[in-house]
Structure 1
């Protein structure tokens, strides 16, 4: 009995890792979905608005559209997880079939050995089998055979128990994964129902805005004027920053050339004696070391700038969101039309990120504050990361100043909350490489 308990305990220890594998997969999938689920739950609080004017409704439409996109992204994540679980179920079924086949085979072998021992169960029969051998060597071989067969029969019994426990555990694992899949499918249906409700709400909001076409166009024209004014100021400051970088690089090149020249003159004096004359070839070499003036459009970089640019570029897709707390991207990069609204075309040089009142802007990477300026009563900050520049707009206050060094995720200012629009809090964020405007979304880790 004790031997049987020891065998069973060993079987349980062997089978637990099988169950842990599927548990790990389910937990990993739940963790990934949990981040998205939390983001959606928190962002739903950003959709509330009570004002009925065109500007507020247009902002509400942007927030609702962003929330719908988040929910669609979550449903896609659920679909991906369902596919992963289905692959796991297929694998588990294959493993279970193989284990059941092995169990059947071992049971048959064990049954045969038990039947044999039953037929030759008495000590007298074993002794007769041994001593009836024609020679002493044969007697020894029969004794060893009887002993080894008994050991074989015991091991066969242990193998059957192990395999049976593996089958039981695999069945339990299979049921657990099936339950996870059923829960996931229910959750997907619930999210689809919420999405349909939001799509319906969006259609109602679009219909209301269509009735106010003149006011809508006026509001859009106002937004374009403000955006053009802001972008012109940003472009001018970036051009100035490029010129500063060019001068830094030129000065660094001049110092390096002077150091090389001094080293060459010292070496020449040591080898040939002091000489104040310079040959034509030396003049030509000196002339070649003089730095060429780069055009203003080129971001001539110092060694430090080149290193920082390389580090920034290597983190594409890993950079943190430039806002603290829950958020929705309400306006994407580039030109696009608003679904359902005629003649409504938007052109965004960056992205608009709506957060909760009290949200702060934060640096997406190490860098130096290139500029802090106010426009229409709000602060805007430019941070240089080598030849990349990140831009943070629509801040009610700034906690950094020009020339400050900043680190990744460091808060740099409070984002403005519009009390006239139910505390709407939106960060306008841009990303540039020299003068080239980039779509920030592929660079951020969402």
Structure 2
């Protein structure tokens, strides 16, 4: 029979795991609700759109997560039910043994049921010591009966609790199975909707080709703008460093007028070399170096640029969702969200650029030392160039296109190197 400590430890592990699964399921269901609202905004038009397709794909992904979580919960419930059934069986066996032992005690006690027999048993002792031992035996016998009766009562109570718990777990399992069936039906409905959208979009191949060409042109414009602004910032920071070095040289010559010419020349040469304009990375001041280091330390923990939404297009090269044999490349991540959603800075920094790029609408570029974050497809902007912004500070609102898709593009750069934003964003 398994001891109580083992049972408690096992129940503790199961409870913890199931609590985590329940939390994950609630989060997933919340994501489904958010995605449904976003999908409804894109369905206001009768024509199928890529925004609809992206929202349906996200909904399918989250729906599968819900079903998988429910399956894991069912496994834990199965384990709980089996364990409880085993405990019930052991308790029933224990109860039967206790009742049998108690019956034997009652039978033995019935032979000396009256006071006269007990007194005769005591006074029949051959010595005083034997009398004392018989008296202790009679008392212990009575105590054993009481203890046995109490243990039977406790065991019956424990068995009742176990049976009640077993019934509740079986009901919970049945309910969870029904939920799983319902979620599977929902998944089939969403997949059917997805197939319908894909079929409609496949008939619009020429239009999709035109939209893709426009997007690629917009991406090139944005890439050129970002590259230009990064080069300008690298050059500006280098000139500022050279100016600081020149001022330091002038002050140094004044304070070392009594030193040998050789030592002075060596100092000036070292400072001049340090002030040479860089073309590969931003020259950092002590303050911007701290900011840059802090940004790097938050890799994988940055805020999302919007509080609600999902990644509709990931970083890098991947197949077009409809057009066959067409590969598209994304410099950042596209996050589909609600109409009018606030766009916020993911980290403190300085607004380097506010510009308009055809096809990308308004863009904001924020500098964090040698790191840069880019927010494209904005409808309105609430910051200006040179302004210092804090994390979570609103910098604008998301743009909604003619198809009803509200989407912001987010990019991360380190100097001239394009980075994958998904590696920098925290869990939503």
The TM-score with structure 1 as length reference comes to: 0.76
**Structure 1 residues 417 and 123 mapped into 2: Cα distance closer, same or farther (>3 Å)?**
same
User: Unpaired runs of 5+ in structure 2?
Assistant: 1-6
The answer (yes or no) to whether the contact 1:19–1:170 under 8 Å persists in 2 is no
Q: CA deviation at 1:232?
A: 2.2
1:297 aligns with 2:280: yes
Matching residue of 1:438: 419
**Alignment partner of 1:164 is 2:156:** yes
CA distance in 2: counterparts of 1:255 and 1:186, whole angstroms: 77
The answer to which of 197-206 and 238-247 deviates more is 238-247
Distance 1:33 1:154, change over 3 A: same
Match of 1:219 in 2: 211
Aligned with 1:417: secondary structure? coil
Following superposition, the deviation at residue 396 of structure 1 comes to: 1.4
Query: Displacement of 1:332 after TM fit?
Result: 1.6
CA 1:331/1:277 → structure 2, altered by over 3 Å: closer, same or farther?
closer
Tell me if 1:355 matches 2:337: yes
| CA shift digits 1:272-317 (9 cap, x unpaired) | xx99446989997997798845853345655555555555455554
**Counterpart of 2:49 in 1: which secondary structure?**
helix
Q: Give the superposition deviation at 1:359.
A: 0.9
- What's 2:77 paired with? 85
Change (3 A) 1:342 1:110: same
Match of residue 325, structure 2, among 338, 343, 367: 343
Q: Distance between the aligned counterparts of 2:365 and 2:219, measured in 1?
A: 16
Q: Within 5 Å, which residues of 2 pair with 1:26-175?
A: 28-48=20-40, 49-51=43-45, 57-175=49-167
Residues 236 and 96 (structure 1 numbering): CA distance in 2 closer, same or farther, change over 3 Å? farther
> Post-superposition shift, 1:445?
0.8
CA distance in 2, matches of 1:235, 1:144: 98
The residue aligned with 1:232 is 224
- What is the CA distance between 1:171 and its match in structure 2? 2.7
Q: Does 1:381 align with 2:364?
A: yes
- C-alpha separation between the residues in 2 aligned to 1:425 and 1:127? 97
TM-score relative to the length of structure 2:
0.79
Q: Could you give the per-residue CA deviations for residues 144-180 of structure 1, whole angstroms, max 9, x where no partner exists?
A: 3333333333233333322332232223223333333
Q: Give the Cα separation in 1 of the matches to 2:168 and 2:245.
A: 67
Map 1:197-346; keep pairs closer than 5 Å: 197-241=189-233, 276-277=258-259, 292=274, 295-298=278-281, 301=284, 304-305=287-288, 307-308=290-291, 311-313=294-296, 315-325=298-308, 327-346=309-328
Q: Is the 8 A contact 1:66 1:331 kept in 2?
A: no
Kept after mapping to 2: 8 A contact 1:242/1:297:
yes
Sort the Cα spacing of 1:52 and 1:372 in 2 relative to 1 into closer, same or farther, 3 A.
Answer: same
- Secondary structure of the equivalent of 1:296? coil
| Residues 252 and 302, structure 1, Cα contact 8 Å, conserved in 2 | no
Q: Residue 37 of structure 1: CA displacement?
A: 0.9
Deviation at 1:225, TM superposition (A): 0.7
Report the RMSD for the aligned CA atoms in angstroms.
Answer: 4.2
Residues 182 and 235 (structure 1), Cα distance of their counterparts in 2 relative to 1, 3 Å cut: farther
Maintained 8 Å contact 2:281/2:370: no
Contact 2:35 2:55 in 1 (8 A): no
Helix, strand or coil at the partner of 2:125? coil
In 2, are the aligned partners of 1:378 and 1:395 still within 8 Å (CA)? yes
Q: CA deviation at 1:192?
A: 2.3
Structure 1 residues 375 and 338, CA gap change in structure 2 (3 angstroms): closer
| Residues 137, 83 of structure 1: alpha-carbon distance in 2 compared, 3 angstrom cutoff | same
1:343-422 alignment, distance < 5 Å? 343-376=325-358, 378-418=361-401, 420-422=402-404
For the 8 Å contact 1:253–1:291, the answer to whether it is kept is no
1:194 aligned partner: 186
Q: CA deviation at 1:349?
A: 1.4
Match of 2:410 in 1: 429
Alpha-carbon contact 1:394-1:415 (below 8 Å) kept: yes
Number of matched residues? 416
Q: 1:258 to 1:70 in 2, by over 3 A?
A: farther
- Describe the superposition over 1:201-253 as per-residue Cα deviations: whole angstroms up to 9, x where unpaired: 32232223333322221111011111221122223334444556667888999
Bigger shift: residues 193-202 or 279-288: 279-288
